[in-house]
Amino acid sequence: MGKNQSLEDLLDQLKIHSKSEDHERVLECAGNILKQSPNDKNALHSKLVTLIKLDKFSQALKLVKDSQQLETSFPVEYAYVLYKTENFEELHEKFDSFKGDGQSGLATRAILHILAQARYRQEDLAKAEEIYKKIIKPSSVDASIGNEKSDLLVNQSAVSALQAVLGTGSSNSSVPSNKRDLSYDHLFNIATEQIGLGNFSTSLELLREAQLACKDAPYLQTPQEIAEEVAPILIQAAYVNSILGNKTEAKSILEESVNLQGLSPGLVKLIGTNNLLALRDVDEDVTIENDIDKTVTSAEALSQSVNAVKTALKSLIELEKSSTNDADINVRINSLQKSLLSHNKLILQLRSGRDITTPANHLVSKDPTKVGVKSLSLFAKLSDSEQDNTGVVSNEKSTVKKLRQLLAQSSAPLTLPISLTLAQVYINSNKLDSAAEVLESTFNNNVKPDNVHYKSPYLPGLIGSLVSIYTLQNRPKAAVDLIAESFKSWSSSSSSIETDLTLPASILAESDVHEYRSLAFDYFKNEYSLHPESASISAGLLSTGNETAVENYESILGKSSLIAIQQLTESIDVNSLNESGVAPLLKRGASSTFTEASTKRRKVTKTKRRSKLPKDYDAAKQPDPERWLPKRDRSTWKPKRKDKRNAKQSTQGGAVDNTTELGIQTPTTSVVQSKSSSAASKNKKKKKAKR
List pLDDT tens digits, range 600-612. 444 555 677 777 8
What's the pLDDT score for residue 580? 81
Separation of alpha carbons 348 and 76, rounded Å? 45
pLDDT in tens, 281-318: 644 433 323 332 333 333 344 344 445 555 655 665 66
Percentage with pLDDT > 90 across the chain: 9
Which residue, among 71, 85, 70, 77, has the nearest Cα to 38 in the 3D structure?
70
- 8-state DSSP, 295: E
pLDDT in tens, 564-584: 777 778 888 888 888 887 777
What's the pLDDT score for residue 689? 47
What's the pLDDT score for residue 472? 92
SS3 587: coil
What's the pLDDT score for residue 598? 47
Q: How confident is the model at residue 189 (pLDDT cuts 50, 70, 90)?
A: very high
CB-based burial of residue 231 (10 Å sphere; 0-12 exposed, 13-18 middle, 19+ buried)? buried
Q: Read out DSSP for 481-512? A: HHHHHHHHHHHSTT-------HHHHHHHHT-S
- What secondary structure, in 3-state letters, does 54-114 show? CCCHHHHHHHHHHCHHHHHHCHHHHHHHHHHCCCHHHHHHHHCCCCCCCCCHHHHHHHHHH
Looking at per-residue pLDDT, the higher value among 551 and 268 belongs to 268
- What secondary structure, in 3-state letters, does 180-219 show? HHCCHHHHHHHHHHHHHHCCHHHHHHHHHHHHHHHHCCCC
What's the pLDDT score for residue 565? 74
| Contacts made by residues 206-212, CB under 8 angstroms, sequence distance 24+ | 206/175, 206/179, 207/233, 207/236, 207/237, 207/240, 208/237, 209/179, 209/180, 210/184, 210/185, 211/184, 211/237
> Sign (positive/negative) of CA torsion 657, 659, 662, 667?
negative
Least confident segment among 44-58, 315-329, 407-421, 586-600: 586-600
SS3 474: coil
What's the pLDDT score for residue 236? 93
Q: Is the pLDDT of residue 407 over 60?
A: yes
Which pTM value belongs to this model?
Answer: 0.59
Buried b (16+ CB within 10 A) or exposed e, 335-371: eeeeebbbbbbbbbbbbbeeebeebbeebbeebbebb
Q: Is the pLDDT of residue 673 over 70?
A: no
Tell me which range, 30-39, 130-139, 151-160, is most confidently predicted by mean pLDDT: 151-160
Q: Is the pLDDT of residue 429 over 80?
A: yes
pLDDT in tens, 463-497: 989 999 999 999 999 999 999 998 888 887 555 55
pLDDT in tens, 252-283: 998 888 877 777 777 788 888 888 888 876 44
pLDDT in tens, 363-387: 777 766 666 666 666 666 665 555 4
What's the pLDDT score for residue 413? 58
Looking at per-residue pLDDT, the higher value among 474 and 414 belongs to 474
What's the pLDDT score for residue 670? 39
Looking at per-residue pLDDT, the higher value among 689 and 341 belongs to 341
Contacts of 122 (CB under 8 A, 6+ apart): 88
- Residue ranges and CATH numbers for the domains of the chain are 366-497 (1.25.40), 500-562 (no CATH)
The average confidence (pLDDT) of the chain is 74
Q: What are 68's strand-pairing partners?
A: none
